[in-house]
A and B are shown apart, each in its own frame.
Chain A
Amino acid sequence: MSFVFWILAAITVAGGLAAVTLKNTVHCALALTAAFAGLALMFLELDAQFAGFAQILVYIGAVAILLVFAILLTRGAEEKTEKSVFSRTWFTGLVIAAAVFAVLAWAVLHSGAALPDHAGLPGPAPQVTVAQIGNALMGRYVLPLEIVALLLTAAMIGAVLVAMHEKGEPK
């Protein structure tokens, strides 16, 4: 497609590859941040501005930092040279991933026959204003909104409880 799209796709896929193959865990987290940024830009390319900015704010601003904190707290950043970074069962995992990719790619490439004629061509870019998103959130999607709020509260309380120091245990 367009030139910008290929650059963004290259950044995202390279970031993803680096995130799962690098030896140093903190480097993996930073490569993941680059992949998130590439994805946010792809959202912007798809005219989904709200999703793109939410992706930057939530993923890069919070999830990436959370990952980095967890890596530092669990001493994942120290160099361990005697064992490989891949698990014993790495070959099976790779085969499964390749199989899944093959199925997905086949589905994507062969789906042209199943869709109606006008699919695959970009329609006019939807002019999504934030007012429309607000109306949608409060009108059509109010139930998912409330459930997500409940879920976030439960997740917050759960994370604090799980990671809290128990009484009497040495820190």
Chain B
Amino acid sequence: MLASFLFCASQSMQIFYPLIQHFRFLAIGAFLLVALGCSQPSNVEKALEEKILHFGLGAEPQHLDPHLSTSVAAHNILSALLEGLVSEDPKSLKPLPGMAKSWEISEDAKTYTFTLRQNGRWSNGDPVTAHDFAYSFRRILNPNLGSQYASMLYPLKNASSYHQGHKAWEEAEVGVAVLDDFTLQLTLENPVPYFLQLLNHYSWFPVHRPTIEKHGAYEKIGTAWTKPQNFVGNGPFLLSGHQINSVIEVKKNDAYWDADAVQLKGIRFYPIEATFTEERAYRSGFLHLTQSVSADRIDFLKEKYPDDLHFEPYLGTYFYRFNLKAPPFDDQRVRQAFCLAVDRERLVDKVLKGGQLPATSFTPPGTGGFSPTPRFRYDPDSAKKLLQSYLQEKGLDRLPPIELTYNTSEGHKKVAEALHGMWKDTLGVEIRLLNMEWKVFLSSVAKGEFTLARAGWIGDYVDPHTFLHMWRSGEGLNMTGWTNNLYDGALQRAEMAGSEEERWANFQTCEELLAEEVPILPLYFYVHLTLRHPTVKGWHPTLLDHHPYKYVYLEKEDSP
């Protein structure tokens, strides 16, 4: 510091020679700056040569351990580094052979026998065997590990009783059996039609046993096994660099069994959280893909970047939770009034503008072939009447101000403000908007310290169950305080049902009950908004926003 100070002092002394000298100094400095800047080709331009995909990740993943991860960001990276028993078709997400080259399903649909391929390899050359999968399933179900997604494995027979600590592994007889080195048999509690799809979730991914044990990570969170120098995976890419909050880098894994099919040489993931910054990065050619797009920018981007802006259907519902444990939302009429007073069409057309669909049910229509009857609608007159009857009964003139809680985000704010307007106009209710940062928000909602709170749910697999199981009484994800035995019954019958018809019928009952008692206020079904550069090929819109990287390649825009 002293040196720089002296340097500056001496520089400033030169001013009082003819001013030209001063300008000369600044001119040199400016020239250097410009030289440094001007000659840079953008990432996207360089990528055609380098074959590196620059991906906007949207958030820094909390863990790179598949048994501890919980986020979409984690999925994006883990699907490059690891592969499960099955993989997915890049267009339809249909299950394709992954580590397992084939499988047999028993008559009663409760037993799956997988034959693993012989040439599956970990990145250090070790073969991938059935033992690896058994070890991995045991690890994630281990209660001492504290995995948040262990419940994804509950379809396995006895998995839940092992995970909940009632029995030891051997005693519990969890439905995982290694018949030989390359044959794995999984037994389920009940038939699960979407089981093979489930296997694409990272909670079902294998981990490399020697690496885990070397770093003492079997039961322990937060070890060094996921660092680039230690990570061993069986997927198309290797972890080659990880600078937290800056970039995660993966390079092609030549030991991968299908390495010949992989055209990308590497991927760089940038965990940019601010949507606006991501957009800026995209427009400068820094990124090939963004994670999201701000609703406010849609009109502008439609005009300037019509070929890059994509609206892709996405399996998710944006909704608000009511707190049924306190007035006024303990009364069904008030909830229904609020629900009927929302003009979803207007919300979607004028505020969101992303081609989102108004939510007429909780489960998005067409999920796995299930189409719920549209029940949520806009009816301001009925809304007013319902509210009136409530107010009259309670002897009130109007409702006291209602607090609407949401986690800090421009998008949520916009929706909240729009609804604030709608409820004020139709019901004359004063809504107080309260934005909280994420952690405080989650905590408040989980503790029931809210009146009305924003929420969203993205499906983990393409089946209505992923949406409807949330509202079971006492379910952790419920958080509204709503309990309904009929609902629980219908849900359970759907889980144990033998035919698709039976499942659909019970799911319809569930939706009906939701629409009647309105513990939640569905607003719209998600659309995945993204900017994608035309040189990215082999990338197809899918409901779960899964894009297997081995089919992706980069090619000049005007190629046929």
Q: Do A and B bind each other?
A: no
Instruction: List chain B positions with a Cβ less than 8 A from chain A.
Output: none
